[in-house]
Chains A and B, each alone.
Chain A
């Protein structure tokens, strides 16, 4: 039982490049979410999904896309990376959105 797995753990991109951050959970959780964590800012919600085929925007969705084709996977896509997107990204899942979340260990992303 791996919990929430995020890949890659570290990534450096150049401005304008695109990439996908992967997130997978093996707990059959319906609710999944993506956060970014910046110094002094706390965790901010980017996008979330209440089940396969359903996604919605969080607090800071601009510049990011998500899809949820399966219960297990919830990838986050950066369309055209910008230095302002340098951050640590966390994926989380829970049985339902009003229940405690399980977090992955994050992807540390630097945009040059």
Chain B
């Protein structure tokens, strides 16, 4: 069955450092992969989408990589700020059938001032 793995332990980093979050998937080949941010008590908010033929995507301080050989996506936040503290969800979507994304459990990021 399809499986998505994100670090269940919170990632603690100091302000100004680069945060790197990992999303690993098994048993399928996503056509694209999305990253969302979720704050406590709120719905997820879309951040970035990367397609299977793209190696890297950037948006301001955010960067996503997509390695279909390793079956892994990395999500980077450079010059992190306390306001970046949130849970980050990855959501790959398979090319076969409906293209509906499946969400990982998310990784909590805590940026300390």
Contact = CB atoms under 8 A, between A and B. Distances in A.
Given A90-B43, A103-B45, A105-B41, A97 B98 contact: yes
A104 B106 CA distance: 18
A103 B43 CA distance: 5
Contacts of B104: 42
Contacts of A97: 98-100
A1 interface: no
Contacts of A68: none
Interface residues on B, range: 20 to 34
B105 A40 contact: yes
B28 interface: no
Interface in B30-59: 31-32, 34, 41-46, 49
A2 interface: no
B100 A42 contact: no
Nearest to A102: B46
A43 B43 CA distance: 11
Of A33, A40, A98, most B-chain CB atoms within 10 Å: A98
Contacts, number: 47
Interface residues of A, number: 22
Interface string A78-112: 00000000000010100001101111111000000
Contact of A45 (B32, B46, B99, B100): B100
A44 B106 CA distance: 13
Interface string B80-113: 0000000001000100001111111110000000
Contacts of A42: 4, 89, 103-106
Interface string A1-34: 0001000000000000000000000000000010
Interface of A: 4, 33, 35, 40-45, 48, 58, 90, 92, 97-98, 100-106
Interface of B: 4, 8, 31-32, 34, 41-46, 49, 89, 93, 98-106
7 contacts: A4-B43, A42-B4, A90-B44, A98-B31, A100-B46, A101-B44, A103-B43
